[in-house]
Chains A and B, each alone.
Chain A
Amino acid sequence: MSCICFYLVLVVGLAAVASNPSPYYAALGLVMVAGVGCGVLVNYGGSFLSLVLFLIYLGGMLVVFAYSAALAAEPYPESWGSGPVMMYMVFYVLGVVMVSGMFWGEWYMVFWVPADEMGEFSMARGDVEGVALMYSFGGGMLLVGGWVLLLTLFVVLELVRGLGRGALRAV
């Protein structure tokens, strides 16, 4: 049952992000979605992936977003209480409810499948073993990931350099 609650909060959280509030509140909605997403993953038995989501996503990305929300600060922020945002939010949630009504008779529940049915033969959970494959079988993928991170470093450096006169200054 907790899984259903997590699903509901996930969808409502995304609707909260999508309904155009101020960036602070959108970031708050995203935090909520990420936290609930961790819960969903744990329900399915993916504890390591859930941990990765929690640490990397909440720890890394949203700190950066909070930092840059300061760059886009506005004096009168709009939260979900204000008119148009509330209207869009209600509109989106009603839309999701209607679409789910279309599928209402055809749900089939196959969740609660644990990730490690072969649990008695292995030391760790399934997703830990799977992620560890990145360092043996999936070495090429690891290289591609590392390469794109390096590339992004140069991309970001070039983008914010701005005619070579320092970082945060008007051109």
Chain B
Amino acid sequence: MTPAHFTFSSAFALGLMGLAFHRTHLLSALLSLEMMLTLFIALSLWTLQLNSTSFSTSPMLLLAFSACEASTGLALLVATARTHGTDRLQSLNLLQC
């Protein structure tokens, strides 16, 4: 295992744990979803390390898609702030059984 591989794996796992375990605000959950950033770094490092330069398009596409995801998440933040009056995740409890 190379240090780079270990670094982005552990960083991603940390982001995932943060998303899964404790979120009080929807915005914090969206910030944890930005662990896609580590995937950007991972894809770029794979490209650079293996010298397959034609693959370095993929981090750019990843960045575009994660920007789409982030903006959709922020739009949902606005939508839930309007319908629920707050962005706390505890208030999203209408559908539980």
Q: Do A and B bind each other?
A: yes
Which residues of B have CB within 8 Å of A34? 37
- Inter-chain CB contacts under 8 Å: number: 226
From A71, A96, A103, A170, give the contact of B14 (CB < 8 A): A96
B6 CB to closest chain A CB (Å) equals: 6
Size of the B side of the interface (Cβ < 8 Å), in residues, is: 64
Q: Is the CB of B47 within 8 A of A46?
A: yes
Which residues of B have CB within 8 Å of A94? none
Q: Is the CB of B48 within 8 A of A18?
A: no
Q: Is the CB of B45 within 8 A of A41?
A: yes
Which residues of B have CB within 8 Å of A49? 44, 47-48, 56, 59-60
Assuming A44-B45, A49-B56, is B18 touching A68 (CB within 8 A)?
no
B15 CB to closest chain A CB (Å) equals: 6
Q: Is the CB of B26 within 8 A of A72?
A: yes
Could you show 29 A-B contacts with beta carbons less than 8 Å apart?
A: A7-B4, A10-B11, A14-B11, A17-B18, A18-B19, A19-B18, A20-B23, A20-B28, A23-B31, A26-B32, A33-B11, A33-B38, A40-B4, A44-B45, A61-B70, A65-B27, A68-B78, A110-B2, A110-B49, A111-B2, A127-B44, A138-B57, A145-B60, A145-B61, A148-B68, A152-B72, A155-B75, A159-B78, A159-B79
Which residues of B have CB within 8 Å of A33? 11, 37-38
Which residues of A have CB within 8 Å of B32? 17-18, 26
Is the CB of B92 closer than 8 A to any CB of chain A?
no
Please give 11 more A-B residue pairs, beta carbons under 8 A apart, in addition to A126-B53, A130-B55: A10-B7, A18-B17, A20-B18, A37-B41, A57-B63, A60-B67, A65-B74, A72-B27, A145-B60, A152-B72, A156-B71
Complex: how many Å from CA A49 to CA B62? 12
Question: What is B's interface to A at a CB cutoff of 8 Å?
Answer: 1-4, 6-8, 10-12, 14-15, 17-19, 22-28, 30-32, 34-35, 37-38, 40-41, 44-45, 47-49, 51, 53-57, 59-61, 63-65, 67-68, 70-72, 74-79, 81-83, 85, 87
Complex: how many Å from CA A134 to CA B61? 9
